[in-house]
Amino acid sequence: MLLSLGRIIKFGLQDVWRNFWLSLATIMILVLTLFSVDLLLSLRIIGQAAVDNLKNRVDVSIYLKQGISEDKILNLKARLANLNNVQEVVYISQSAALESFQQRHQSDPEILQALQELNQNPLAPALTVKPKDPDHFEELVEELDQVQDPIIESRNFQDNKKLLDKINYITDKINDAAVIISAIFLFIMILVMFNSVRLAIYSHRQEIIIMKLVGASNFFIKAPFLFSSLIYTFIGVVLTATIFYSFLTVLQPYLDTFFFGYNVDLVTYFNSRWLVIAGLQFTGAAVINLLASYMAVGKYSKI
Amino acid sequence: MIQFIHASKFYPPQTKALDDLSLHIYPGEFVSIVGQSGSGKTTIVKCLIGEEKLDSGQIILGDWDITRVSNREIPYLRRQIGVIFQDFKLLPKKTLAENVAFALQVCGKSPKKIKAIVPSVMKIVGLTEQMNRYPNEVSGGEQQRAAIARALVYQPKILVADEPTGNLDSINAEEIVNLLLKINDLGTTVILVTHNREIVNNLNRRVITISDGRLVNDQARGKYII
């Protein structure tokens, strides 16, 4: 058994080395396919980061009556902060609201002029509530609706809810499209990988027939090809990881600039999960390659 | 030793490759099976090594009814019969010595035994100096001799040569036939399938003539008569 195993490994390695260009072509196709999978994953991460960022910007404001003492406001702020679905409550005083309003409209002299003519600060102080999870926005609204306090002037969550619904709708559609596109791409990649291995075996068909005629058992014929497939897969995964990591290192500064403030850090993402990603890629590619090799060798050894 | 008993083999739609063929080959014989192209000569070889199955009849090899062998047993059957082909059928990415060694490796011989057997067989067929060359680096005659060496390493009781000289010039062809005669002198039954009239007539050994899958002539010291 050990002798057979040794011979299978030897023949597998010999096959890879002595058919160097064929091996190289097969590995290159594998690398291109796995690289495409990594790219697809990166696009998904970037898209998800952008959507999360957009969702995190959605908050609700509770407007307070003017001239209320700071103690009462801070008391309400503490009550709100204790709610289940609240991540953070920020108090925006009347003067801070005015300052922010002026900054937002600094390029609009007519509005600033109108504000000046009023001769007083018309803006109400507010408590801005950030949801713990934007996907549970409705639960947050329900919780906020139950908070009764005489210092509350108004609360209008409907605009934000509509905005969040729209974001959710768009992201759902984008996700659906991404799943379909990814599935199509994955299917194409599986076909490419599957057929490249089958073609590689096809070029060995005469050898397989000869082995059979010399009296080799099916196992003795198939096993070295299966072992070669594992070698192709291993080299392919290692090469892909090396090339993709180098590519990411070059790409990351551009991503940082382009997605400023969006926290899109692909290098960290892949660094922290490289074992899982490489492991899954190896397992997936190995299963496809082994299956393709097994079927192709089986086809030519039926004599 | 080998018996074909009412052996028939058909290929769709209506080709009769073997038609109720019966013949008996005895141990130690040198038999030439001759006939025109498509007469069924190669089908005899294919059925003998389990590459094709008979539609009816039997093939008995020693005590073994090889028409009943399972797919699992076929590799063992092929290790009992040495076969050489017109196109040599050497593994192109292995050296001549590795090709010969491969036949031993598939049946689980130890590296020590293989190291001892391969050079001696290569010496018998006169390929000691070429043993580390690849098939595409040697002549057709040398490739065929390597194929004979590979067929001999099992020390088979039967050696089947299917058109072994078909791709060779007359000098190389003669060398191969002489080698087959030498192997036969050592006790191995040799079945030579050929349509080379000159070789068959010079041999002056048993000749079986096949036409349309039927045995039409069987002479102890025969000539090529078609």
**Do A40 and A174 sit in the same domain of this protein?**
yes
Domain edge (last residue) among A104, A120, A150: A150
pLDDT of residue B226: 67
The answer as to whether A134 is a domain residue is yes
pLDDT of residue A221: 86
CB contacts of A19 in chain B (<8 Å) are 93
Give CA angle at B48 (B109, B142), nearest 5°. 60
**Do A38 and A79 sit in the same domain of this protein?**
no
**CA nearest to B158, candidates B58, B48, B63:** B48
**Do A223 and A268 sit in the same domain of this protein?**
yes
**Do A212 and A264 sit in the same domain of this protein?**
yes
Sole residue written with tokens 């190896």: A282
**Do A12 and A99 sit in the same domain of this protein?**
no
The answer as to whether A159 is a domain residue is no
The pair of three-digit structure tokens given for residue A122, joined into one six-digit string: 């018309």
By C-alpha distance, the chain B residue nearest A214 is: B103
The answer as to whether A242 is a domain residue is yes
pLDDT of residue B31: 95
Q: Under the phi-then-psi rule, with left for phi > 0, alpha for psi from -120 to 50, and beta for the rest, what region is B146?
A: alpha
Host domain of residue A132: 66-150
pLDDT of residue B143: 94
The answer as to whether A124 is a domain residue is yes
CA dist., res. B103 & res. B148, Å (int): 12
Longest Cα–Cα distance of chain A, Å, equals: 103
pLDDT above 90: residue B159 = yes
Three-state secondary-structure class, residue A237: helix
Torsional sign, CA A136, A142, A145, A146 = negative
Number of domains in chain A: 2
Whether B80 contacts B156, CB under 8 Å: yes
pLDDT (mean) for B15-44:
91
Kindly provide the b/e burial profile for residues B34-62, where b requires at least 16 CB atoms within 10 angstroms of the residue's own CB. Answer: bbeeebbbbbbbbbbbbbbebeebebebe
Q: In chain B, positions 79-98, which contact chain A (CB-CB < 8 Å)?
A: 79, 83, 85, 89-94
CA dist., res. B194 & res. B196, Å (int): 6
CB contacts of A14 in chain B (<8 Å) are 93-94
* Regions of chain A with pLDDT less than 70: 156
Task: Determine how β-strand B2-11 pairs with β-strand A152-155.
Answer: unpaired
pLDDT of residue A193: 81
CB-closest option in A3, A210, A216 to B75 = A216
The answer as to whether A117 is a domain residue is yes
For residue B12, is the peptide bond before it cis, meaning its omega torsion is within 30 degrees of 0? no
CATH number belonging to the domain at B1-78+192-226, selected among 2.60.40.420, 1.10.3660.10, 3.30.9.10, 3.40.50.300: 3.40.50.300
User: How many Cα atoms within 13 Å fall on the side-chain side of residue B67?
Assistant: 16
- Pairwise pLDDT comparison (B61 vs B221), residue with the higher score: B61
**Do A253 and A294 sit in the same domain of this protein?**
yes
The answer as to whether A155 is a domain residue is no
The pair of three-digit structure tokens given for residue B123, joined into one six-digit string: 């010496």
**Do A246 and A201 sit in the same domain of this protein?**
yes
Whether B78 contacts B50, CB under 8 Å: yes
Which residue blocks in chain A are alpha helix, DSSP H?
2-18, 20-56, 70-81, 94-104, 109-118, 137-146, 158-202, 205-214, 218-258, 266-300
pLDDT (mean) for B36-55:
90
B78 pLDDT band (50/70/90 cuts)?
confident
Q: Does A203 touch chain B (CB under 8 A)?
A: no
pLDDT of residue A148: 83
Choose, out of A11, A210, A213, A220, the residue to mutate when testing the contact with B (most B CBs < 10 Å): A210
**Do A194 and A283 sit in the same domain of this protein?**
yes
Strands (E), B148-205: 158-162, 189-194
**Do A42 and A188 sit in the same domain of this protein?**
yes
pLDDT (mean) for B164-192:
90
**Do A185 and A276 sit in the same domain of this protein?**
yes
**Do A116 and A211 sit in the same domain of this protein?**
no
Min Cα separation A236/chain B (Å): 23
Domain edge (last residue) among A119, A150, A181: A150
* Cβ–Cβ below 8 Å for A216 and B106: yes
CA dist., res. B145 & res. B125, Å (int): 6
For the entire predicted model, the pTM comes to 0.70
Residue A26 dihedral angles phi and psi, to the nearest 5°: -65, -45
pLDDT of residue A101: 84
| CATH number for the domain harbouring residue A95 | 3.30.70.3040
Residues with Cβ within 8 Å of A188's Cβ and at least 6 positions away in sequence, in order, are: none
Min Cα separation B75/chain A (Å): 4
* Cβ–Cβ below 8 Å for A215 and B106: yes
